[in-house]
Amino acid sequence: MQTFLEFEKPIAELEGKIEELRHLTGDANINIADEVGKLQAKVDRLLRLTYAKLTPAQKVQVARHPGRPHATDYIDALIEEFTPLAGDRLFGEDRAIIGGIGRLQGRAVVVIGQEKGNDTESRVLHNFGMAKPEGYRKAQRLMALADRFHLPVISLVDTTGAYPGIGAEERGQAEAIARSIEVCLKIKVPVVATVIGEGGSGGAIAIAAADRVMMLEHAIYSVISPEGCASILWRNAANAPDAAAALRLTAQDLKDLQIIDRIVTEPIGGAHRNPAETIAALGVAIEAALREFDGVEPGTLRSRRREKFLEMGHKGLS
Amino acid sequence: MNWLTNFVRPKIRALVSRREVPDNLWMKCPSCEAMIFHRDLEESLHVCPHCGFHMRLDPMRRMKMLFDDGEFQTIELPKPAPDPLRFRDQKRYSDRLREAQAKTQAFDAIRVAHGRMNGMPVVVAAFDFAFMGGSMGVAVGEGILAAARLAVLQEAPLVVIPASGGARMQEGILALMQMPRTVIAVDLVKEAGLPYIVVLTDPTTGGVTASFAMLGDIHIAEQGAQIGFAGARVIEDTIRETLPEGFQRSEYLLEHGMVDMVVHRHELRLILIRVLGLLCRPAPAAAVVPLTPVTIGPPADPTEPQAAVEIPETSDHDTQQPAESANAPQPPGHQPAVESPAGQPPVA
Ligand SMILES: [Zn+2]
């Protein structure tokens, strides 16, 4: 069952017509194939037009689309010999952040990814991708492991934000995020981070202080959710679309501000229309990013990473 | 429209406003509602003399209370281009900025100064909550970086005193990037082998807590401060439960292992002096003075280290003085929050 976003309604209607026509085969109408072809061309054109100029608020919807590929999908398709690793060795195992070792095109890597889940059961299991301190401490552990064995780190960011709860606060959510940022910046192996869906504030930067930061074309990355921002600054969550625009949270704005290094193009109609193609494109992009660091001296790598972040903020919107 | 309203009234108003408004002479304690005379409030460093409630303190008063003889040098901070995103909600961010600047007479929500504490050179970065809730944008990040670089240059410890609601929304992703940037800043200090101390004050939340503020060598919290990651309301909305008593307060964080100690503001300078002395001057001491401020009475028994702070000799500086005469104010009849100077945290 495909989920259509509100602004996709005209597209959904056309596709519904195509479906209906296909079911009319019994009538042996020769013109059906012709008609279907025409409608399909119309759908393609409409998709292209719609997705070429999504508003920031629409991008927020696309970034959160339930049919969008999640971290697990990328790992399943791209990482061979994937060996999940669990636990922070301090308190527990947090499935909001999955991680492990495996190979990307033959190269051994450490993978860390935020997983939202894709049905009720898996969403609960992964706590909707909202990590607790355990998740960030597991990430730290895996990054330290990568450092020790000279394995590059691939990080997949997709979270609304770190989990706000009593236990999370008691166990030091802030410290866990701060330390995770510190470890990202300290290790001497390449770190390539990609925002595949939602890059939600501190919960995202905790695993994204990377040598290369990429975003999928319709992903978002922000200091606060548009809803949260609207309820504070507009005193009304209904102003979320205004906040989405004001926050400059699209991949295109972030590239312009030199916060991210690269935008990875999504298939026409968004990643949820063609997950396999999206996953393959990101695989190629990550591999290319890793290749750039081959032969770079570890100390140089780390100091360049620092320099890159220290440079940020000197450039406003053009 | 007559002579009276156009000329006399403004003149009378001018006469009245030139005199101090009685509102400023007395202040009501937000906790016990007692009225406090402004001079008493200054003297007690904005701690309620009646109930011990710690009110928020602006950065200049903070600096004055911490440095020897209240003397320090503020440094000029980088001034990044304001309003990089041309952000506008119901109001323009550029207007909010101008208002905050007019209100606080500062460029942004942070001040950085260097001076001496018990003769030791120290760099202090203090937040101003009155400036847009002490929120962290590019200018604040630059301030932390400048403080860290100055500390490294002067081979001085860095003390950061946040009072902040977190990242500044109006600077969007650029505000979020101040988290890694300030983490790099404090790591520069640590890598230079210098102490990095965080004094957590009310409130310290959000992206500020989740970056440099939780990475100190030592965490000192002022009593009763709200310290946490997520806002209490956000947590309540998420879990649909009421929060436990004292949730996210300094004492609660102490119990959960997130801070080393909870101190009364009147103890802060002496605690910092002792901690920095122990970390920076491991050589044996020449003099021993009591930790708790004492004005009269016999000198502390040097054989009893539990009640004393050691002040080592400094040949390179001539302003050294015993802690009694340093400008730490006397706590007006309160019990020190830090009761075990041997380094054990007080029992909550
Ligand atoms: Zn009071």
pLDDT in tens, A188-239: 999 999 999 999 999 999 999 999 999 999 999 999 999 999 999 999 999 9
How far apart (Å, rounded) are the C-alpha atoms in residues B306 and B291? 9
Looking at beta carbons, which residues of chain B come within 8 Å of A316? Answer: 81, 83-86
Query: Hunting for tokens 């995770």 — which residue is that?
Result: A180
Strand positions, DSSP E, chain A = 79-84, 97-104, 107-114, 153-159, 191-200, 212-216, 220-222, 262-264
CB pair distance less than 8 Å for A170 and B183: no
- Check CB contact of B172 with chain A, cutoff 8 Å: yes
pLDDT band of residue B224 (cuts 50, 70, 90) is very high
Looking at beta carbons, which residues of chain B come within 8 Å of A243? Answer: 89
- Mean pLDDT over A297-309 rounds to 96
- Mean pLDDT over B22-30 rounds to 82
How far apart (Å, rounded) are the C-alpha atoms in residues A27 and A42? 24
**pLDDT beyond 50 at B322:** no
Q: Are A187 and A43 part of one and the same domain?
A: no
Q: State both tokens at B276.
A: 């920095």
Would A301 be classed as within a structural domain?
Answer: yes
- Mean pLDDT over B115-134 rounds to 97
Would A167 be classed as within a structural domain?
Answer: yes
Q: Are A139 and A28 part of one and the same domain?
A: no
Match domain B56-276 to its CATH number in 3.90.226.10, 3.20.20.210, 3.30.56.10, 3.40.30.10. 3.90.226.10
**Is the distance from CB of B162 to CB of B201 less than 8 angstroms?**
yes
Q: Which residue of A has its CA nearest to B87?
A: A246
Q: How far is the CA of B165 from the centre of ligand 1 (A)?
A: 23
- Check CB contact of B81 with chain A, cutoff 8 Å: yes
Would A205 be classed as within a structural domain?
Answer: yes
- Laid out side by side, the sheet with B158-161 consists of B72-74, B110-117, B120-127, B158-161, B196-200, B218-222, B261-263
Q: What is the CA radius of gyration of chain A?
A: 21
Would A316 be classed as within a structural domain?
Answer: no
Residue B258 has a pLDDT of 98
Bigger pLDDT: A184 vs B329: A184
- Those of residues 159-178 in A touching chain B at CB distance below 8 A are 162-166, 168-175, 177-178
Residue B164 has a pLDDT of 97
Q: Are A167 and A226 part of one and the same domain?
A: yes
CB pair distance less than 8 Å for B84 and A315: yes
- Mean pLDDT over A25-52 rounds to 84
How far apart (Å, rounded) are the C-alpha atoms in residues A208 and B267? 39
Backbone angles phi, psi at A92, to 5 degrees: -170, -170
**pLDDT beyond 80 at B3:** no
Residue B313 has a pLDDT of 44
How many angstroms separate the CA of residue A126 from the nearest CA in chain B?
16
Of A171, A223, A232, the CB nearest to B172: A223
Q: Which residue of A has its CA nearest to B206?
A: A174
CB pair distance less than 8 Å for A201 and B167: yes
Would A94 be classed as within a structural domain?
Answer: yes
Backbone angles phi, psi at B60, to 5 degrees: -65, -40
Q: Are A24 and A101 part of one and the same domain?
A: no
- Check CB contact of A193 with chain B, cutoff 8 Å: no
Residue B340 has a pLDDT of 40
Residue B74 has a pLDDT of 97
Where in the sequence is the domain holding A283, given as residue range(s)?
60-311
How many angstroms separate the CA of residue A87 from the nearest CA in chain B?
20
- Check CB contact of B232 with chain A, cutoff 8 Å: no
Looking at beta carbons, which residues of chain A come within 8 Å of B239? Answer: 164-166
How many angstroms separate the CA of residue B286 from the nearest CA in chain A?
38
**Is the distance from CB of A94 to CB of A127 less than 8 angstroms?**
yes
pLDDT in tens, A50-86: 999 999 999 999 999 999 999 999 999 999 999 999 9
Of B142, B175, B177, the CB nearest to A309: B177
Of A175, A209, A232, the CB nearest to B214: A175
Looking at beta carbons, which residues of chain A come within 8 Å of B232? Answer: none
Residues contacting residue B307 through CB under 8 Å, at least 6 positions apart: B290, B291, B292, B300, B301, B341
- Those of residues 221-260 in A touching chain B at CB distance below 8 A are 221-224, 228-229, 232-234, 242-243, 246-249, 253-254, 257, 259
CB pair distance less than 8 Å for A179 and B211: no
pLDDT band of residue B299 (cuts 50, 70, 90) is very low
Q: Are A222 and A299 part of one and the same domain?
A: yes
Q: Are A45 and A140 part of one and the same domain?
A: no
Residue A298 has a pLDDT of 94
Please give the tally of structural domains in chain A. Answer: 2
Q: Which of B30, B42, B61 is nearest to B130 (CA)?
A: B61
**pLDDT beyond 90 at B310:** no
Q: Are A118 and A175 part of one and the same domain?
A: yes
Q: What is the CATH number of the domain that holds A215?
A: 3.90.226.10
**Is the distance from CB of B127 to CB of B162 less than 8 angstroms?**
yes
**Is the distance from CB of B163 to CB of B213 less than 8 angstroms?**
no
Would A146 be classed as within a structural domain?
Answer: yes
Amino acid letter, A60: V
So where are chain B's domains?
A: 17-55, 56-276
Q: Are A145 and A210 part of one and the same domain?
A: yes
- Those of residues 287-316 in A touching chain B at CB distance below 8 A are 306, 309-310, 312-316
pLDDT in tens, A152-174: 999 999 999 999 999 999 999 99
- Mean pLDDT over B317-323 rounds to 41
**pLDDT beyond 60 at B124:** yes
What residues are paired with A195 via a beta bridge? A157, A215
Q: Which stretch of A309-318, B80-89, B238-247 has the lowest confidence by average pLDDT?
A: A309-318
Bigger pLDDT: B16 vs A3: A3
Looking at beta carbons, which residues of chain B come within 8 Å of A313? Answer: 80, 84, 138, 141-142, 174, 177-178, 181
Q: How many CB atoms lie within 10 A of CB B224?
A: 19
- Give, rounded to a whole angstrom, the gap between the first and last alpha carbons of chain B: 66
